[in-house]
């Protein structure tokens, strides 16, 4: 470990240990080590496909079969196989230690819940369930039969994932709960998000404005780094969160 990183890990452990109300904001980067590619950056999905052509609600409504074939089917294959990694498990440990109160995630992969986090706000909805666009019947994505694309409900309506597409509204209850958590916390851990998708990217800004510390864990700099974040611990989320948790446990057992 580089000396600078070692210091930052120690600093983060001390900041977390001294906090009363920690909230995490996570993005696609936390699930990269679980085998789910992010959207932006190296190896990201947007290098291969144009989001406006495949991930916008208008594109889906215009040609659901095309979006199912290119985007949703691939997501299902990847998400079905994915399991939580040490970063998800580390956040669960911080919750068990009484430090982390809630996790706001932009991810739709369900890995925080699978790891055992008990309070997860799925800001962009979830990919675990599908909803019939005609009768609102719900079915689990895992058990969906994809021999026919787009998959249809018994009523003939087309299924869509319960996550939101670009151009759709954030569920208002998720937005308001996230805003109050962001305003309440005294430390916000921002993990694996490029902080470019609004309004999620505004949550750390809100935290900062209300006097909280903002600790960023990311493989690269983001627009928050050097402006909103107190510091960035640069690297893989699994490694870094693992080291921070070990350090917090060391402080607590001393």
Query: What does the binding site for Zn ion look like in residue numbers (CB under 5 A)?
Result: 132, 134-135, 137, 153, 155, 157
- Count, residues near ligand NAD per rule CB under 6 A: 28
Question: With binding defined as CB under 6 A, does residue 39 bind ligand NAD?
Answer: yes
Residue 137 partner contact from ligand NAD, Zn ion, none using kind-dependent CB cut-offs of 5 to 8 Å: Zn ion
- Least Cβ distance, residue 31 to ligand NAD (angstroms): 4
Q: Yes or no: say if 207 and 192 are a contact pair by the CB < 8 Å rule.
A: no
Question: With binding defined as CB under 6 A, does residue 222 bind ligand NAD?
Answer: yes
| Choice between 93 and 160, CB closer to Zn ion | 160
Question: With binding defined as CB under 6 A, does residue 112 bind ligand NAD?
Answer: no
Question: With binding defined as CB under 6 A, does residue 243 bind ligand NAD?
Answer: no
Question: With binding defined as CB under 6 A, does residue 236 bind ligand NAD?
Answer: yes
Residue 14 partner contact from ligand NAD, Zn ion, none using kind-dependent CB cut-offs of 5 to 8 Å: none
Q: In the sheet where 120-122 sits, what is the strand order? A: 120-122, 100-105, 22-26, 187-191, 213-218, 231-234
Sole residue written with tokens 């080590």: 33
- What are the two backbone dihedrals, phi and then psi, of residue 85, each rounded to the nearest 5 degrees? -115, 180
- Least Cβ distance, residue 188 to ligand NAD (angstroms): 15
Active site residue 174: no
Span near ligand NAD by CB under 6 A; candidates 9-17, 40-48, 57-65, 166-174: 40-48
- Least Cβ distance, residue 254 to ligand NAD (angstroms): 29
| Choice between 90 and 192, CB closer to ligand NAD | 192
| Choice between 153 and 162, CB closer to ligand NAD | 162
Contacting positions for ligand NAD (CB under 6 A): 27-29, 31-33, 36, 38-41, 44, 106-109, 124, 192-194, 196-197, 218-220, 222, 236-237
Enzyme catalytic residues: 124
């Amino acid at each position: 470990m580089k000396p600078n990183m070692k210091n930052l890990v120690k600093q983060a452990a001390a900041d977390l240990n001294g906090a009363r109300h920690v909230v995490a904001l996570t993005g696609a980067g936390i699930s990269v080590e679980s085998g789910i590619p992010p959207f932006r950056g190296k190896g990201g999905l947007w290098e291969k496909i144009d989001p406006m052509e495949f991930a916008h609600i208008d594109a889906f409504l215009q040609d659901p079969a095309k979006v199912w074939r290119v985007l949703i089917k691939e997501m299902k294959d990847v998400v079905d196989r994915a399991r939580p990694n040490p970063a998800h498990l580390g956040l669960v440990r911080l919750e068990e230690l009484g430090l982390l109160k809630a996790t706001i995630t932009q991810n739709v992969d369900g890995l925080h819940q699978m790891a055992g986090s008990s309070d997860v706000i799925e800001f962009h909805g979830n990919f675990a369930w599908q909803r019939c666009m005609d009768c609102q019947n719900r079915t689990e994505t895992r058990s969906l039969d994809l021999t026919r694309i787009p998959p249809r409900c018994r009523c003939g309506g087309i299924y869509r994932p319960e996550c939101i597409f670009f151009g759709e509204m954030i569920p208002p209850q998720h937005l308001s709960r996230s805003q109050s958590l962001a305003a309440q916390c005294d430390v916000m851990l921002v993990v694996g998000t490029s902080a470019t998708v609004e309004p999620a990217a505004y949550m750390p800004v809100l935290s900062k404005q209300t006097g909280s510390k903002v600790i960023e864990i990311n493989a690269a700099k983001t627009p928050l780094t050097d402006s909103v974040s107190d510091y960035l611990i640069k690297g893989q989320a699994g490694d870094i969160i693992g080291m921070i948790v070990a350090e917090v446990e060391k402080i607590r057992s001393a």
